[in-house]
Chains A and B, each alone.
Chain A
Amino acid sequence: MIELAVNFGIFLLLMMLGYLAGSYLEEAHYRRIRARELEMMSMPAVNFRSPPAGWKIESGVLVTGSVVVSVDYFKRFLAGLRMLVGGRLKSYESLLDRGRREALLRMKEEASAQGCQAIINVRLETSRIAGSANQGTAGVEILAFGTAVKLAEN
């Protein structure tokens, strides 16, 4: 009886913690992302393989931005239930959206730090960070990379 109460109590606690803390942290992250996107608006990041005609490129450098994100207990539980019956894992969508945008922003920030004005040939890659056997997926790493170019005065 005690064992059940403790198990259930812990489960409920984790769910509440996950929901409350998770939602708060996610909203805070989105706010930061939107603010930085506003700042980095003037740096184009495009995925043309070759530079557009007319660009006079002085130098180019590989830039990357990566981020590792994880979901909270509550989202993980919902996704687990969803995985049994199939359908969209809506609870993971915001996780990946945040991750992608964050990775692109970091890439842009690195380009800016290198004194470049644009990034071409942008690519995104995702890989899974494995957790314990109990946990399955611990998190996701999203990598954005491209060639940052310094343009001649134009």
Chain B
Amino acid sequence: MKYTARLPTDRINVSKTDPRKETLVLVVGVGACLVVLLALISFSMDLLMGWVPFSWEIRAFEGWGQEMMTAAGVKQHAVDETLQQLIERLASHWPDVPYRFQTGVTPETLPNAFALPGGAVVVTSGLLDRVESENELAFILGHELGHFRNRDHLRGLGRQVVTALAMTAIGVVAGGGGVTDFMTIAHYVTDRRFSREQEFAADRFGLEIVQREYGHVAGAEDFFKHLADEESVWDSRAASYLSTHPWSEGRMERLRRLAEGNGWSDQGNTRPWGNREAGRENSSPTP
């Protein structure tokens, strides 16, 4: 046998392809499809959760609410009774309210309030210390009631679970790594919009409840005024698009327009909360 020394043909096993074209086609084509798919999944779960009957939700989560509150360190003290009474008064303005609301206070200096599926509302002790009037607190609680009425927590739960499943499944097929990171970013951007609109809707409901309970909306905006003072203007504007909570001045503006549009007065007496005196620019102290 005669052997002739020969070099292997270079690159015969490598397709002649322009990496930039391949990248463009894949990223724009498949990448865009992924983004759309994730957004669609989010959207449909959001719709679906809205149709879940209240009774199912209550049956599934009511016990869980109690456990969560114990886990969050909710302690029983004197304020709880007034808080519970307040929320029941506010809920009475919601015709056919399906929930039996449970309230709790968690020892935490940062002011916050949140709703748990099934009818539990938790506020932080920091919030109770900061509110200047019962009306301000009523608006915050009304806002949480709005979340219950719009099934926001349930929607969020459904969305998160199903989107996480979808991303995991896609990630497994796509071999992890870059595609998973890409999807995380895409999901982060698309998911924010829902939450902003949900917050506005809860604001609307809260304001309406305050109007019905007190006959005016004085004091409702105080919480936002406090927040806006603390957030620097630059931070608010920059963070607003992509954050879950729309920036406070924007929310305040929309609420003002809503109140004006409905002819709700922001002048009136506000009731004191806790050991704070009722003294505010828009009201006279209660006798």
Binding site for B on A (CB under 8 A): 1, 3-4, 7-8, 10-11, 14-15, 34, 37-38, 41-42, 44, 52-55, 73-74, 76-85, 88, 90-91, 93-94, 96-97, 100-101, 118, 131-137
Contact = CB atoms under 8 A, between A and B. Distances in A.
B173 A83 contact: yes
B6 A97 contact: no
Contact of B15 (A3, A88, A118): A88
A80 B31 contact: no
B22 A83 contact: no
Contacts of B177: 73, 76-77, 80, 134-136
B173 A77 contact: no
Nearest to B31: A81
A121 to B, nearest CB: 15
Contact of B22 (A53, A78, A132, A133): A78
Contacts of A15: 178
Interface in B160-185: 170, 173-182, 184-185
A97 B14 contact: yes
B178 to A, nearest CB: 3
B11 interface: yes
Interface in B137-180: 170, 173-180
Interface string B1-38: 10101111011011101010011001101110010000
B175 A136 contact: yes
B14 A78 contact: no
Interface in B166-210: 170, 173-182, 184-185, 188-189
A42 to B, nearest CB: 5
Interface of B: 1, 3, 5-8, 10-11, 13-15, 17, 19, 22-23, 26-27, 29-31, 34, 170, 173-182, 184-185, 188-189, 238-239, 241-243
B174 A93 contact: no
Given A7-B184, A11-B182, A90-B22, A83 B175 contact: yes
A77 B1 contact: no
B245 to A, nearest CB: 11
Cβ-closest 8 pairs across A and B: A77-B178, A80-B179, A136-B175, A80-B174, A52-B1, A41-B5, A81-B30, A136-B176
A24 B53 CA distance: 59
A11 B242 contact: no
13 contacts: A1-B242, A7-B184, A7-B188, A11-B185, A42-B5, A76-B177, A77-B179, A78-B22, A81-B179, A83-B174, A91-B22, A97-B14, A132-B176
Contacts of A10: 181
A133 B7 contact: no
Given A4-B188, A83-B173, A97-B13, A76 B178 contact: yes
Given A81-B179, A137-B175, A44 B3 contact: yes
A84 B22 contact: no
Contacts of A101: 8
Contacts of B241: 1
B62 to A, nearest CB: 33
A126 B209 CA distance: 69
A30 B256 CA distance: 68
A11 B7 CA distance: 40
A3 B23 CA distance: 26
Contact of B242 (A4, A42, A132): A4
A1 to B, nearest CB: 5
A115 B81 CA distance: 94
